[in-house]
Each structure stands twice: as structure tokens, then as C-alpha cells.
Structure 1
């Protein structure tokens, strides 16, 4: 199997608020053009700012300001994954306390994942229109109230409904956060920033189950949601006070003015009052009156290349979540451990995922720079825009097959180690490998999607979240009946072989030699 992908001649980074139109290229799939009428005026206002050249910075934000933004959005993405994973060690406790069946308690996991998949289609459309900042403020306020309600719930129906609302509130973090990375990071540094951003997401599996096991064992499962509300409230205030607007259609390279923080508003009004600054026209407020298009993220699924990338990523995600959600039940039955010990078993997943995010980000930046250098592309040009004949798929996806094969082998070994009840250290180590390789793949696919659609980045990541959460939710429902029907070893072997088939399908479509043509 070759480790190269075709040139993305039809997929340059667009300079306006649309995806590239490749309909005239017979060798390339047509790429969707998604106009954003809500920000058309703002886009025209900053047209000169967005038209980058080798001497024009992609963003005027300093490295320090970028670091603050990445920290805030990483913590926000951490909340989304943390909310799901802190819940897993308490599944049996919730089942016994509410007197419900095992299938009913697993349904609360499934509906959470379904709403995590569907909601970004709504929020991503708003974030690409209204701006990133107001969406973050709204969604995390919804999340806080949902957590308070969950902490007070007394019955199963309320638990189920509020878990949906909790997912609806937290689901914006990943899609909108990835959009912010596309706003502030150049293509050459985007992989590294995505790696750091993904570390927040992947710390959820590291800390969530541990804290969830301790809290549910010592204080009861309802305290899980009190803890979440207490953790997220300070983050919400940090978003309100410090997270600036970054949507390029509204603020261009960061020099524009829209959705200001309190400090930005105060400084601007002070300059206007002292006549140091004229009150220039702001983006029209009418954009807030237009309803979002919840189907925008679905449009991308019509494109063959995009659909293949999303399915590849989503099936990988489904396989990983089959492993993660089965840990509580399978480890408890195989090794007779309690909630706290189950929570500690998740540490390997979190460490593997965090290291995978960081290392893959560094690798993606290194590959981009290496390929750019081999094609004679000046670093300044690559930082501004990806040339039309730059092999961006090769730069992002060229080595994902290595992570994929390692994941397949580890999944088979994981199933049989539990079947034969080998020492608990073995499946824990295998969980580390599974999380490391899967997260590396997620980082590569997310970065590629942002490269292809930088001005609709929240919507395209919303599409990714949609497919992966829906497939993940469906896959989670197969774990319990699959293990009972086939046994642990054969179930995870079958899952691994199915994933292998999907990898071969993608290889036939995408893996072809890269042209050596100089740019």
C-alpha cells in the first residue's frame, strides 16, 4: 500500500467566504460552494485584509494572544469529552439507583452521542454567521443549567431529557473551536495548533473516568453533575471576558470589530470619546435575525472525497468508543473491580489520546513543511495560502494508514486479552495504543477538513461531528448484544476486520502517487 495521496489541485484555500469551486476540473470531485449571506457585508469590509500576500500576516494576533485563545477553546473542548467520560464509571450505580435495566442506562449514553452529533450542524451554521463568540457564550450557559438539572433529577425520563440538553450545550465546543483554529492559524502551523486543541478533547478520557469513579463511589452519581457545573461556570466567565471574536468574515485578520469582549468595547468607546478613533461601520446586526441553517453541515456529505474522509474518521471513532464504553462492564466482570478502580483503568486511554494529539500535530506540521520545501514553495507563501497544486491530502493523510493498522491489531489483541482474562495490565496497555492511534487519525482528518474549507470550518467540523457521533452511537448499541452473541474476542475481531475493509476502500480512492511538479 502506498502512503501517498493525490495532489489537491482542485482544493486551494479560498480567499472569500465560500468553498472552492472545482467543477471545471474533470479529474476532481465538484466542491460545494456555500455562500454566507449573513456575513456578506462584513466580508466585503475586510476583503483587503483577507487577501493575504507573502508580506501580509495571516493574523495580527500575537503568539501570546493566540495561546490564550487556544487555552480557552481547549478547555471548552475538554468539557465536551469530560462530560461524556465522567459518566461511564457510574453506569452501574445509576442503573441500581433508578431501578432501570442495563439497556436503559446505555441509552443515556447513546442519546448523548446522537445529540452531540446533530447539534453542531445547528451551532456550526450560527458560528459561521453570527460569529464564534456569541455561540460559545450561549451554549455553555445552556450546559450549566442542564448540569444543575441533572444533579437534581429523581427519575429516568428527566435524566434522559437533560442528557440530551447537556449534549446540545456542550457540542459546539469541538466544531466552533476547530473553526477558531482555522481563523487564527496559518496552514503551516495549523496541524500543531489542532494537536494542542485536540489535547483538550482527549484529556476528557484521562480525567473524566477517574473523577467520575471517585465522585460516584464517595458522594453518589448526582454529584458528578454538581462537579461539572462548578467546573464550567468559571470557564463561562473566562469566555465572556477574554475570548475575542475570530470569524474572518467579521474581523478579517483580527483587526476588525465585532462581538467585542468587555475590554475591547471599553477601549473602543474610550478612543471614540477622545476622538482618537472614528466610529466606523460595524457588521450588520441583522445577521442575528436570520435563522441558522441546520442542514448546512449535511451538504458536505454529497461530495465523494469529503464523504470518504468523514466515514474513515467516523468509523475509527465508532471503533474507539466501542472499546471505551465497554470498559466499565467488561473490566468489572473480568477482574471484579469497583468504580474507583474502573476509573483508574481509563487513565491509559486519556494518556494515549493526549500524546497522540500532541505528537500527530507536530508530525503534521513537519510533513507540511517538508513537502512544501521539496516542491520549492517559499515558507511565507505557504503560510498565507495553500497553492492550488499543493498535495494537501498527502501532507495530512499520508501516514494515517500506519496508525490504522496499529489500531486494528491492538483491537483484536484487546478483545482476546479480556476473553482469556490475561493480567489487567495487558488490556490497559492496549487501550493506550488504541487511543493513541485513533486520536492521531482524528487530528489528521480534522486538519485536512479545515484546510479544504477554512472559511466554513465550523460547519465542516460539524459535519465530521455529525457522522462520527451518529455512527459511534449506533456502534455502542452493538457492544452488549455483540459480546453476548459472539463472545468478547470474536466481537472485537469482527469490528477490527470491518474497519480494515473501510481502510482498503479509502486507499483505492485516494492513495495514488504525488506529482513531482514544482509550484
Structure 2
């Protein structure tokens, strides 16, 4: 649980310089409107960065991604503390956003790695407490620093704080990504190892210890998960997160979560300017005005975790044959997880949106400061509690890639929030605070049937998604099998053709030899025949000569 507890610390610093907007504008010689654009660009990158770090964390592991994100954040804070022009402030705030918000998806992913659905609500509440309370309470620290040490001290504070987080994390926090270490039984390797484990292994090597026992232990551990394969590293693809956002079930939750986030962000981003204009507060007083909102956020984050776990067990008891397994996790394929999570949401959304409308009109009428501060507590309790519940549901629906799913949620809500912060001051100037806040509350209320549709049809949509994935898997295997059979058939035909060619060659060779031997025999036979004929002719001539000689003797006898 160390990583989920460390992640909120970066969101504690997200809005830390809200009370210093006016001093920064005066120091750099620009308007407050231009300084507000740094909030917009910050949120743009706050949406983009988790899509990269989330995908990278699912591939390489949580540790490398977290260390890289925090290192970027540290360097950005050094630059922000030393810069002295508006362009540098704008660019470095974007870099700072990329580093800090990159840890968001990783925090929720670690919760998914180490918890089951039956107890996930409580741990998600711990992460949500820091993420939601941080932006509300950090202006208090920012106000103190800006008031007494100057606005540059804010970024030096962020630098020191992030270094204090990174060092113990790199030394001791283990890897949790299931694609890397499975259920914890597969030992981490390389950059997924903690620095203490790495140093311990090097000391053993230097001392010349026999590593046979360690190797046997590693083999025993790996044998428990023989099918575990490490993902191949590639450049992080943000489009994977966008694909999650367009999924029918998860996409609707992300959409409504983003609408609730608009209510959250416009309340936080306008508090500084509104309270300075209406009540004339200084930087420290403005920072203190965030405390009721932060208290509501904290109470919601802790309470919603226990509420979700209770509601999960309550619905599980109603399902015949379903038992909660806190060690191995539950099979949610036929469990109405959408109804278990969304059930408590209707009350919180209704009360939170009503408080939002009242908050806008209270600022319009400018009564005592106690009224808007009390309404801030209610908004923090109900609205942040609502999208904390929806964050838990998003992780439940994406067990195979929770970091990517959280990144998709963060991308959509931050881009919508960036657009809202860019125009909110103009809208307040044109419509007034009351109607402006009412418009955003009504927008969320009109879209509330999304929650009912998700609770009603979510389990059906998940079944359709599984069937589609299974068909795709079967088609892929069939295609691979056909390709294998075609390859074997082609190889067989090639071998057969080769054998056939070799046989023909041997037949031709044998036929050639047989033909050559027959010719020789015929030639020999002809030669013998000619020789015999010559011999016979020779004998015939000799016989004829003998007969002629006999006849001559008979005709002319020799004298005695």
C-alpha cells in the first residue's frame, strides 16, 4: 500500500500555487487571465501524461514508471523555481503536470494489483482521499509560503517534498504489476527490483557466495506460474486509453465521471478569485478558505470506501451460491458489480448538485463567508465522493489493464476540465456566478440517467464484450491453425516434389545405363557374326583351293 499512499502527495501539490496567482502575475508583468492559462495547460497535460505512463506501467511495471514520472516532476520544479518569464512558466508547468499526473494511473493500478473487488473500495478510498483532498488543502501551504517566503518557495517546497518521496520508494517499495511478478511469487528482475534487493544481490556476488540455492528458489517460484510472460517493451500508445474511453460500458462511466469533475474543478479554480473579489482576502486567508472543501473531500474518500465494501457484501449475500473470496478475488462475470457500486451514488449526486446550485447563488448574493464555506464542505463530501465511487467501478471493469483504464478516465475528465477552466471566468462575467454554477449542475443532472442505464444493462454489456473477445480469440487461433496446416501442406508438397524429381533422375540414369549395355552387346554380337562369317569364308576358300589342287593332280600326274 506504499505506492497508493505516495501518489496522492503529488496531487497535494497540484494546486499549491493557487493563492500565488496574483503575486506571480505581478512579478512576471502579465495579467491574471494569462496566469489562469497555466492552469488550463496543466490540466491538458494532466490528461495526456497518464495515457503514456499508464500504458508504460502495464508493460514495464509500476516501479520504473513511477520513478520516471517523479524524476520528471523534480526537474520541472527546479526549473519553475529559477525561471523569470511567462513562457518558461507555461512550458515548465506542463512538464510538471506530466510528471505529477503520471503517477495517478499507477496508484489506482497498484490498488488493482494487490486487492480483490470485495475490499477494493476501502483502498480506493485511501488513494482518492489524497487525490481529492490534495487540490483542496494544498492552497493552504501555498498561501503560507507565498505570504512569507515568496511564490518561488512554493516550487522549492515541491522539489524537496518529491525528493523525500522518491528516495524511500526507490529503496524499499516492491514491484506489484501482475504481468511482471504475477501474484508476488515470481521474483522481480532488473529495474523492477528495489535498490536494497539489488545491492544485496551484488554483495552476495562479490563475496563469492554460491548462488545455487537462490537459483533453485527462483526456479521453484517461477514454476508456480509457468505461463507468465513478460510484456514486450514498446513505445507507450495513448490510443489504447482512448479505445477504453469508447467502450460502451466503461465509456459511459467515464463520461459521467467527467461531468462531476467539472463541478469539482470549477469550484476549486474560482475560489481564489471569487473570495479575493468578494471578501478582499489576502493569499493566506484565501488558502485557509480551501479547508472546508478539503475536509469534505477527506470524509467522502474514507467513508465511500467502507460504504462500497458494505454494499458489495450486501448484494453478494443476495446471490445464491456466490461467496466472497478476499484472497483470490471473485469472478465478476455474473455479478452485478455496476449495481453494487452505483447504488449509493444517487443520494450523493442529488445532494451535491443541489449544494452546487446554492453555492453559486450564495456567491452572487455575497452574504457572510460562513455560508459558502459550509456549502463547500457539502460539495466536497458529495461530489468528490461520487466520482471516487465511479473511479472504483472503472478499475473493477478493467482488471486486465487498470492503469490504462484510469488513464482514459483521467484524459477525458482533464480535457473537459481544461476547457471549463479556460472559459469559466468569461462565463461568470457574462452570466453571473449563480447562473453559471446552475448551468453546470443542471448539465450533470440531465445526464444522470447514464447511471441507471449502467446499473441496468452493465452486466449484459460485459457479457457481449466477453463473447466478442472470445470470438476474436477463436478466429485468431483458427487463422493461426490454418496457416500452420497450409505451411505443413506446402512443405509436404515440396518434399514430395523433391522426392519425385530424385526418383525420375534415378530412373533416367538407370535407363541410360541399361541402354548403353545393350548397344555394346549388339556390337559384340555383330562383331562375332562378322568374325564367324569371315572365318567361314576363309575356310571355304581353303576348301575350294584344295579341291582344285586335287583335280589338277588327277589330270596331270607327276612323273616318277
> Structure 1 length normalisation: TM-score?
0.82
User: 1:286 & 1:346 partners in 2: Cα distance?
Assistant: 44
Q: How does 1:323-472 map to 2 (within 5 A)?
A: 323-376=267-320, 377-380=322-325, 384-472=329-417
Change (3 A) 1:160 1:514: closer
2:293 and 2:376 in contact (8 A); partners too: yes
User: 2:315 & 2:231 partners in 1: Cα distance?
Assistant: 44
**Aligned with 1:455: secondary structure?**
coil
Tell me by how many angstroms 1:442 deviates: 2.0
1:264 maps onto 2:197 in alignment? yes
Q: Which moved more, 1:265-274 or 1:329-338?
A: 265-274
Q: Which residue of structure 2 aligns with residue 38 of structure 1?
A: none
Tell me by how many angstroms 1:296 deviates: 1.1
Larger helix share, 1 or 2: 2
1:494 maps onto 2:427 in alignment? no
1:112 maps onto 2:42 in alignment? yes
Tell me by how many angstroms 1:88 deviates: 0.8
Tell me by how many angstroms 1:255 deviates: 1.4
Tell me by how many angstroms 1:375 deviates: 1.2
Q: 2:177 aligns with which of 247, 255, 280?
A: 247
Q: Which moved more, 1:237-246 or 1:201-210?
A: 201-210
Q: Which moved more, 1:165-174 or 1:375-384?
A: 375-384
**Which is higher, the Rg of structure 1 or of structure 2?**
2
Q: 1:226 aligns with which of 156, 178, 184?
A: 156
User: 1:108 & 1:263 partners in 2: Cα distance?
Assistant: 39
**Aligned with 1:135: secondary structure?**
helix
Tell me by how many angstroms 1:82 deviates: 2.0
1:364 and 1:395 in contact (8 A); partners too: yes
Q: 1:192 aligns with which of 122, 140, 149?
A: 122
User: 1:239 & 1:195 partners in 2: Cα distance?
Assistant: 21
1:73 and 1:173 in contact (8 A); partners too: no
1:95 maps onto 2:22 in alignment? no
Tell me by how many angstroms 1:264 deviates: 2.8
Tell me by how many angstroms 1:157 deviates: 0.1
**Aligned with 1:73: secondary structure?**
helix
1:278 maps onto 2:215 in alignment? yes
Tell me by how many angstroms 1:460 deviates: 0.3
2:50 and 2:410 in contact (8 A); partners too: yes
Q: Which moved more, 1:207-216 or 1:505-514?
A: 505-514
Q: How does 1:501-516 map to 2 (within 5 A)?
A: 501-508=446-453, 510-511=455-456
Tell me by how many angstroms 1:509 deviates: 5.4
User: 1:429 & 1:458 partners in 2: Cα distance?
Assistant: 35
Tell me by how many angstroms 1:99 deviates: 1.3
> Structure 2 length normalisation: TM-score?
0.76
Change (3 A) 1:148 1:284: farther
Q: 1:180 aligns with which of 110, 130, 154?
A: 110
1:160 maps onto 2:93 in alignment? no
Q: Deviations over 1:319-353 (max 9, x none)?
A: 11001000001111111111100000001111111
User: 2:309 & 2:231 partners in 1: Cα distance?
Assistant: 39
Q: 2:248 aligns with which of 304, 329, 332?
A: 304
Tell me by how many angstroms 1:478 deviates: 2.2
Change (3 A) 1:499 1:286: closer
User: 1:245 & 1:323 partners in 2: Cα distance?
Assistant: 37
User: 2:352 & 2:230 partners in 1: Cα distance?
Assistant: 48
Unaligned runs of 5+ in 1: 1-69
Tell me by how many angstroms 1:514 deviates: 9.5
2:179 and 2:231 in contact (8 A); partners too: no
User: 2:270 & 2:14 partners in 1: Cα distance?
Assistant: 14
Q: 2:9 aligns with which of 78, 82, 86?
A: 78
1:129 maps onto 2:59 in alignment? yes
Q: Deviations over 1:52-109 (max 9, x none)?
A: xxxxxxxxxxxxxxxxxx2443222221x22222111111111111111222111000
**Root-mean-square deviation over aligned CA pairs:** 2.2
Q: Deviations over 1:293-333 (max 9, x none)?
A: 12110111221221110011011011110010000011111
**RCO (CA 8 Å, sep 6+): is it higher in 1 or 2?**
1
Q: Which moved more, 1:241-250 or 1:198-207?
A: 198-207
Q: Which residue of structure 2 aligns with residue 313 of structure 1?
A: 257
- How many residues of Structure 1 are paired with residues of Structure 2 in the alignment? 444
Change (3 A) 1:311 1:117: same
**Aligned with 2:373: secondary structure?**
helix
1:140 and 1:170 in contact (8 A); partners too: yes
Q: 2:237 aligns with which of 250, 274, 293?
A: 293
User: 2:138 & 2:348 partners in 1: Cα distance?
Assistant: 25
